[in-house]
Chains A and B, each alone.
Chain A
């Protein structure tokens, strides 16, 4: 069965430090890959997505993610975290011929300390 794993439930980083959030998926082919961010009391906002081509994708708010087929991973990174980045981050995959089967991870909660 398809699945998405975000192994880190909660991460704390200092403002200005670098960030990497992990995401692994289980699927036989290359899925469509997404990262979403959810601020408290808000819906999910799309940060970036990967379908094909360059395995390093750039997103909004200074985030990037790298697709590594050999590791079935799609980790999210940011070189310098800002206090406003504190939120919940969700990795998601779309599988099937048209990617219409959508699976979310359980999320990683990010705390940013001054």
Chain B
């Protein structure tokens, strides 16, 4: 148990589907993040939320839509994805919008396959 829980663990979706990834943390952290991990590439930061407010969007396509209803929950809504969006999507949290002083706590990820 890492303290950050992601569901589902695996997801297969068609390009016309709409699905959502969920992340939950009960560590008392106030910053949450979505990362994309593709094979042989560095982790790509997608979105940052600090105290429920989105503070960063790294030029992510609009087919990815984040939602942070409170400091403990983070969603990533997916629609009309492309096969190249297949990857491991990692959620992380930290105390403060830094990740630096405390480091991130990562979830186990959702393995997404777009067919």
A residues neighboring B (CB under 8 Å): 4, 9, 32, 34, 36, 41-46, 49, 51, 90, 94, 98-100, 102-107
B61 on the A face (CB < 8 A): no
Q: List 11 A-B contacts (CB under 8 A).
A: A9-B40, A43-B2, A44-B92, A44-B104, A98-B98, A98-B100, A98-B101, A99-B100, A102-B99, A102-B104, A103-B42
Residues B42 and A42 in contact, CB atoms below 8 Å apart:
no
A99: chain B residues at CB < 8 Å are 98-101
Residues B40 and A106 in contact, CB atoms below 8 Å apart:
yes
Q: CB < 8 Å: which of B96, B101, B106 contacts A45?
A: B106
Interface residues of B in 60-115 (CB under 8 A from A): 90, 92, 96-101, 103-109, 111
Q: Which residue of A lies closest to B48 (CB)?
A: A100
A41: chain B residues at CB < 8 Å are 9, 108-109, 111
B43 on the A face (CB < 8 A): yes
4 closest A-B pairs (Cβ-Cβ)? A99-B100, A94-B100, A43-B106, A32-B100
How many chain-B residues does the 8 Å CB contact rule pick out? Answer: 25
A102: chain B residues at CB < 8 Å are 45, 99-100, 104
Residues A94 and B40 in contact, CB atoms below 8 Å apart:
no
B21: chain A residues at CB < 8 Å are none
Residues A46 and B104 in contact, CB atoms below 8 Å apart:
yes
Q: CB < 8 Å: which of A32, A90, A100, A107 contacts B97?
A: A100
Nearest Cβ on chain A to B106's Cβ, whole angstroms: 4
Nearest Cβ on chain B to A65's Cβ, whole angstroms: 13
Additional A-B contacts beyond A9-B40, A36-B106, A41-B109 (10; CB < 8 A): A41-B9, A43-B6, A43-B92, A43-B107, A44-B106, A94-B100, A98-B98, A99-B98, A100-B98, A106-B41
